[in-house]
Amino acid sequence: MAEIKVPELAESITEGTIARWVKKVGDPVEKGEFIVELETDKVNAEIISEEAGVLTQILAEEGDTVNVGQTIAIVEPAAGGAAPTPAPQAEPAKEEPKAEQPAQPAQPVQPQAQAAPVEETSAGGRIVASPAARRLAREKGIDLAAISPVDPQGRIRVQDVAAHAAQPAAPAQPAQPAQPKSPIATIDDSRVTVERMSRRRQTIAKRLLEVKQNTAMLTTFNEIDMTNVMELRKRKQEQFVKENGIKLGFMSFFTKAVVAALKKYPYVNAQIVGNEIHKFNFYDIGIAVSTEEGLVVPVVRDADRKNFAEIEKEIAELAQKAREKKLALSDLQGGTFTITNGGVFGSLMSTPIINGTQVAILGMHAIVNRPVAINGQVEIRPMMYVALSYDHRIIDGKDSVGFLKTVKELIENPEDLLLNS
């Protein structure tokens, strides 16, 4: 018998959510075969079986939160695990008509432990409960809908069932009608769709709120005339593609400009640790990428040591991995500064929220032709608003404005970037 346990993924990850079971109870399993997908705060992990055999038990349902080291399934050798699995499934239908064996009806209860979660969930709406809690509720004849869980996410545990069973019967009855009055439980209207937040969306929401609450965040703005960099890209694009096999985009220019500005203003490339300021002497730039499950920020390592082609290739590779859910935890850790580009979605101006423990983030926006004054004359130029959100606890207005002005000047004079790269 082999136990399938939640593996250690990283020091910062202690739990995950069962996203999808690839195998069902009774299915044959090969050694090294992918059997369940685990969703963590940052990436989805594929858990494999270390032994070949038959999947005989699933101990955590899809949607359940599981901890590192927790056993979530059992795989038994084919000779011992294949035979007993179908036997109890076939027996209930044949044994039901027999009245001579009163003890037999107790046997189908065990195989139903696998199917019960689906039946109870569909009958009770959005009820989520651990297998052990469901089993105890059935034994005690308790309706899961009548239980008030302690878990803020609404998941019912064994402790909730035991506590409910210990309550006196009389006071428990008035409490039951109050349950369906929850806005989510009584929604029957086709005009409203109720959707549970994924683990990753919950993590994003939690961390963004923490940043807002724990930093003195302020945003400063500027605008960049994109004329020169657009003309340079147009002149060099064909040669760049021929030599490097990838297009020359705007992100490499902004990454190089950000690195130059960080060298000039080191407090923007820093972190607050207790009462200390840790200024980084390396430049790992996070590039925000939008995926179906939310925003992720893979990191371009040592961006100061890479040329334009290397940066463009790495950004493209990381974005592809993000959309295919193939990012490793190492791809997401350790960034010192972040760039986010809302312009790809048409955003004209925004105030980006600082990423994690960093102290600043640069927001790029859409390029729009606008009238501007050039040497006393009004001209139509391709303009982009840029925003720098920063932690005012360690970055003063002088540094934040100077940083953004440096980025502006370098983008408006892209030859300077080429000379410095």
Which one of 304, 391, 396, 399 is the catalytic residue? Answer: 396
Burial of 415 (0-12, 13-18, 19+ CB in 10 A): exposed
Q: What is the pLDDT of residue 115?
A: 39
In order of 56, 164, 274, 281, the CA distances from 136 in angstroms are 21, 11, 46, 57
For the question of residue 160 being annotated catalytic, the response is: no
> In this structure, what token pair is assigned to residue 328?
């490793």
Top-level class of domain 201-420: alpha beta
Single pTM value for the model: 0.61
Asked if residues 361 and 320 have their Cβ atoms less than 8 Å apart, the reply is: no
Q: What is the pLDDT of residue 91?
A: 44
Q: What angle do CA 297, 303, 305 make, to 5 degrees?
A: 160
The partner residues of 140 in beta bridges, in order of sequence, read none
Q: What is the pLDDT of residue 348?
A: 94
pLDDT surpasses 80 at 214? yes
pLDDT surpasses 80 at 135? no
Asked if residues 293 and 198 have their Cβ atoms less than 8 Å apart, the reply is: yes
Asked if residues 367 and 384 have their Cβ atoms less than 8 Å apart, the reply is: yes
Q: Report pLDDT digits (tens) over 243-271.
A: 999 999 999 999 999 999 999 999 999 99
Highest mean pLDDT among 154-158, 195-199, 264-268: 264-268
For the question of residue 396 being annotated catalytic, the response is: yes
Gyration radius of the chain's alpha carbons: 29
For the chain, give every domain's residue range.
2-181, 201-420
Topology agreement, domain 2-181 and domain 201-420:
no
Lowest mean pLDDT among 110-114, 338-342, 352-356, 368-372: 110-114
Q: Report pLDDT digits (tens) over 74-131.
A: 888 876 444 444 444 444 444 444 444 444 444 444 444 343 343 344 334 557 776 6
- DSSP annotation string for 227-295: HHHHHHHHHHHHHHHHHHSS---SHHHHHHHHHHHHHHSGGGSEEEETTEEEE-SS--EEE-EEETTEE
Lowest mean pLDDT among 101-110, 154-163, 290-299, 305-314: 101-110
pLDDT surpasses 90 at 408? yes
Which one of 151, 392, 399, 416 is the catalytic residue? Answer: 392
Lowest mean pLDDT among 20-24, 79-83, 230-234, 400-404: 79-83
Which CATH topology does 2-181 take?
Answer: OB fold (Dihydrolipoamide Acetyltransferase, E2P) (2.40.50)
CA dihedral 40, 44, 46, 47 (to 10 degrees): 0
